[in-house]
A and B are shown apart, each in its own frame.
Chain A
Amino acid sequence: MSGAARRAPGARREAAAGLLFALPALLGLALFVLGPFLFAVAVSFTDLHLGSPLPVHFVGLRAYRRLFEDPVFLRALVNNAGFALVVVPVQTAAALALALLLDRPSRLRGLYRTLFFMPVVFPLSLVSVVWVLLYAPGPEGTVNALMHWLSLGHWRARDFLHDPALALPALMLTSVWQGLGFQMIVLLAGLQEIPAERYEAARVDGAGAWARFRHVTLPGLRNPLVFVVLITSVLAFRLFDQVRIMTHGGPDYATTTLIYEAVRAAFDRGNVARGAAISVVFFVVVLGVALVQRRLVRERRELA
């Protein structure tokens, strides 16, 4: 009785404190994330154009219809998808390989980990400028010289960033170099969570190295792997900094991307409706990737 009487003001104070504690974050998320997002959705159904004297109209899906009839936008979509289809598997496999190589006690492990992670702390703008230099055209460019050496003299110098066939692959390589260390650290931490007994048990059952990798390592890494794939796919669709600095979307739209097109539409041409519509498409793509991956995790969990 007296306990309940003492509880009541405590509970009220707790309720007030809860709201008060959450209030700044609540305001921030509502004003700077949810609000602008809803604004983008609303604007994408209008013909809002900066500097246009005409009144703004609701025009339904016109901005979307125009997007999907626009070869440049479709090219951007294809570029992003292609980027994801190459970078996600390559980067994940390479990160997993490095993590496996490092997953045993060694005096040099800390040093290697530092080296592989180092590019992650580099701002993308700096990375982009350095790689513009490494991709210098002509035989004295670093990448050209390396290819010449690796191909035993068969490689002829190319201008990577101005070559429609090579510009996007060049951006891919730069991104893999910058992002691999992050994935490697996540996977290495995942590897260290797998109990040694499981490997022992598999060994007792006569499993070879490949069987142990297939039946112990991979299932044990499921969550970190899904996370790494998810994050890399999302980053592939966010591609912007490298494009802006290294290629400006060229040559011939070979490297333009969703975000680059959105920024160009809204800022260079004042076409706010188009920019907003691209933002919404971008969000739907990212959400789709996230949902598919979430589903994959859940199904695998049910199977396990």
Chain B
Amino acid sequence: MRRTLTTGLRHAALLVSAAAFLAPVAFLVVGSFKPEGRILADAGSWRAFFPAHWTLDNYRDVFARVDFVRFLLNSLLINGAMVLSGLAVNSLAAYALARLRWAGRPFVLGLVLATLVVPFEAIAVPLFYGLSAIGWRDDWSVQVVPFVANPLSIWLFYVFFAGLPRELEEAARVDGAGVLRTFLTVVVPNARAAFATVAIVTLLFYWGMYLWPLLMTAGPHARPLPLAIATFYTLPPLRWGDILAFGTLMVAPVLLLFILFQRAFVRGVAATGIKG
């Protein structure tokens, strides 16, 4: 009897929390299919989450008003380049730190640990001035290159590599494989989980990046999606339907990725916490 009561309470608590978490998302998606006049008018009732009149006008408007595809391609290019080059650069560095004996190792390990505690916001302003001084701004590469080397990624790889058994690498080395061959053919295939974790953590941090592109880009040609939505919000005419439609389109790719690779996401996020 008591057991059923606690189980019931548990489910009630979960249900209420789930509703609270879902409501803003439902508001966004449902609102994007509403006529402009209904969005604010419906906001205070259950109709905010169930549209009475469906329309695709907002979506038509988004594509007419801005070059959505361009912003999406910019975001995909920036994040794709950042993830792929980041995986290569940071895994190689972590492997050198975890397994190879070389002169500068303690120094580089110290640099990684030191930069781990420097938050990006603390260096955004000086970095902006430094890069502007050499005329490097307002393109997609300036939104990628400064972030490729990432102390957190190196640290996650480092912990994973340090935990791998050495026997496989030693066998490959005895067979005459060089250091790079050993890394590529033995270590990488055994570290797929680490690569997935780092890719996901990188994507989570950078897909929504707002401050840096705000500082570095002037026109729409190199701007990613998060900046575009802010432009929509500040650029007259203020049309909520367009903003919600744009927002829905913007979050759809990550949401899809998240639902498809949910296990890897969860494992990746959990790994940052347990190793930290």
Q: Please report A residues at the B interface, Cβ cutoff 8 Å.
A: 11, 13-19, 21-22, 24-37, 39-40, 43, 97-98, 101-102, 108, 110, 112-127, 129-134, 136, 139-142, 144-145, 177, 180-182, 185-190, 193, 223-224, 227-228, 230-231, 234, 238, 240-241, 244-245, 259, 262-263, 266-267, 272, 275-276, 279-280, 282-283, 286-287, 290
Q: Are B225 and A123 in contact (CB under 8 A)?
A: yes
Contact check, B118 vs A283: say whether CB atoms are below 8 A apart.
yes
Partner of A287, one of B117, B128, B204, B227: B117
Q: Does B166 contact A (CB under 8 A)?
A: no
Contact of A266 among B23, B97, B101, B125 (CB under 8 A): B125
CB neighbours of A266 from chain B (8 A): 125, 128
- Digitize B212-249: 1 where CB-to-A-CB distance is under 8 Å, 0 elsewhere: 00110000000001110110010000001001100100
B44 in contact (CB, < 8 A):
yes
Q: A113-B266, A126-B247 are in contact. List 16 more A-B contacts (CB 8 A).
A: A14-B101, A17-B180, A18-B101, A18-B102, A18-B104, A22-B104, A25-B90, A115-B18, A118-B22, A120-B204, A125-B229, A129-B230, A140-B43, A177-B21, A189-B269, A224-B274
Residue of B nearest to A259 (CB): B121
Which residues of the other chain, A, contact B104 by a CB distance below 8 angstroms?
Answer: 18-19, 22, 26
A275 touches B92 (CB 8 A): no
Q: Which residue of A lies closest to B246 (CB)?
A: A126
If A14-B102, A125-B227 touch, does A32 touch B127 (CB 8 Å cutoff)?
yes
Q: A34 touches which one: B93, B114, B229 (CB < 8 A)?
A: B114
A134 lies within 8 A of B27 (CB):
yes
Task: Give, as a whole number of angstroms, the nearest-CB distance from A170 to chain B.
Answer: 13
Please name the residue on chain A nearest to B75 by beta carbon: A123
- Dominant SS at the A interface? helix
Say yes or no: A37 contacts B96, CB within 8 Å: no
Q: Which residues of B contact A132 (CB under 8 A)?
A: 233
Contact partner, B121, options A24, A185, A238, Cβ 8 Å: A238
* B44 & A142 in contact (Cβ 8 Å cutoff): yes
For B103, what are the chain A residues with a Cβ–Cβ distance below 8 Å?
Answer: 15, 19
Given contacts A112-B14, A123-B250, A133-B27, contact A32 B119 (CB under 8 A): no
- B69, CB-defined interface residue at 8 Å: no
A227 touches B273 (CB 8 A): yes
Say whether B17 faces chain A, with CB atoms less than 8 Å apart.
yes
Contacts of B4 in A (CB 8 A): none
Q: State in angstroms the CA–CA spacing of A205 and B82 once bound together.
A: 53
Indicate which residue in A22, A39, A114, A272 contacts B259 across the interface (CB closer than 8 Å).
A114
- CB-CB under 8 A for A272 and B129, given A121-B254, A186-B269, A189-B273: yes
